[in-house]
Amino acid sequence: MGHQLKMAKLTYACVLTQQIDRLASFYQDVLDLAPRRDGAYVEFSTEPGIFCLWALDAYVEIAGSNEGPQPGAGGIMLEFQVDNVDMEFARLKALSRLSIEFIIPPTTMAWGNRSVYFRDPDGNLLSLFSPRA
């Protein structure tokens, strides 16, 4: 058996985008958090980890390659735990400027979590969920 990590935690998730300002505003409203911004990089502290947005052109310049992930390419879903999915759903629906198209309204899933699903302006799949009580 190969070497096993003693502790592996996802502490950092970053979405690359060609619409940094639009996504920063969107996630600020969805997460209801004030971001820390440094030019083409926007960071939200989502204890215990970090969620960030990075402008694709800045990433390409720093990485020295355009072989990185393409925004909105699919294959990933971001899930954020909230205290009350139904309250967050109502709050987001009231923010009409976001024009969120909800894929699945608040639903108690087979595994017990209460979840709502929607997409960000780049097409990335998002879920807000409350764990089963």
pLDDT recorded at residue 68: 59
Q: Where are the domains of the chain?
A: 9-65, 72-133
The one-character DSSP state at 64 is T
pLDDT digits (tens, 9 = 90+) for 56-100: 888 878 777 666 566 666 667 899 999 999 999 999 999 988 889
Please tell me the CATH code under which domain 72-133 is placed.
3.10.180.10
Domains 9-65 and 72-133 equal at CATH topology level: yes
pLDDT digits (tens, 9 = 90+) for 11-60: 789 898 989 999 999 999 999 999 999 999 999 999 888 999 999 888 87
pLDDT digits (tens, 9 = 90+) for 92-122: 999 988 889 899 999 999 889 999 999 999 8
pLDDT recorded at residue 74: 62
Q: Which fold has domain 9-65?
A: 2,3-Dihydroxybiphenyl 1,2-Dioxygenase; domain 1 (3.10.180)
- The three-point CA angle 32-33-34 to 5° equals 130
- Whole-model pTM? 0.81
